[in-house]
Amino acid sequence: MVVFNDLDPIEKIKVYDRGVSTREDLVGTDLVPLAYRRTGDVWLPQFDLTEALRVEAQHFLRCIVEGERAETGGEEALKVIQILEAAEVSLKKAGAAVSIDEGVVVL
């Protein structure tokens, strides 16, 4: 189980080793083949705690001031818009599959 808590300043991500073991003699019967619930270790992975929006804003400023090439540009933005439009069409069609073809949502 993974828990993400963005409000925790130090332990934002916690990974718990939890699970359920099965009883082999009950597999295939009408009875629930659960033997016991297992609770194990907790892992707190280390990662950069720098706020993502700050990193993005600093990169944007470097692009403007220093002429650094943007990591994502107009082409990536267009793809995101196409995906969002396709998702909206799919929702209006009760979850029907839609495809994206050269910037146009095709039903």
Q: Where are the domains of the chain?
A: 2-43, 52-106
The secondary structure of the chain in percent helix, strand, coil, rounded to multiples of 5, reads 35, 25, 40
Distance CA 13, CA 27 (A): 35
Q: What's the pLDDT tens digit per position in 14-36?
A: 998 877 766 676 667 766 666 66
What pLDDT is stored for residue 104 in this prediction?
60
pTM higher than 0.75, yes or no? no
Q: Which amino acid is at 65?
A: V
Contact 16, 37 (CB under 8 A): no
Low-confidence ranges of the chain (pLDDT < 70): 21-23, 25-27, 30-38, 101-107
What pLDDT is stored for residue 47 in this prediction?
78
Output the 3-class SS for 61-95: HHHHHCCCCCCCCHHHHHHHHHHHHHHHHHHHCCC
What pLDDT is stored for residue 107 in this prediction?
46
Distance CA 75, CA 105 (A): 16
Distance CA 6, CA 20 (A): 28
Beta bridge partners of 45: none
Two tokens, residue 61: 């400023």
